[in-house]
A = this chain, B = another copy of it.
Amino acid sequence: MLDRVSRLNADYARAIDDDRLEDWPAFFTDPCLYTITSADNHRQGMPAGVIYADSKGMLKDRVAALREANVYERQAYRHVVGLPAILGERDGAVRAETPFLVVRIMRDGTMALFATGRYLDALVEETGVLRFRERVVVCDSSRIDTLLAIPL
Contacts and interface: CB of A to CB of B under 8 A. Distances in A.
Interface string A100-138: 010101001111110011100000000000000000000
Chain A: interface secondary structure? mixed
Nearest to A7: B83
Nearest to A14: B85
A10 interface: yes
A55 interface: no
Given A39-B76, A97-B14, A109-B142, A103 B82 contact: no
Contacts of A84: 10
Contacts of A9: 83
Contact of A101 (B10, B78, B85): B78
Nearest to A3: B2
A80 B78 contact: no
A13 B116 CA distance: 14
Interface of A: 2-3, 6-7, 9-11, 13-14, 17, 39, 76, 78-85, 97, 99, 101, 103, 105, 108-113, 116-118, 140-143
Nearest 3 interchain pairs by C-beta = A109-B143, A78-B116, A10-B83
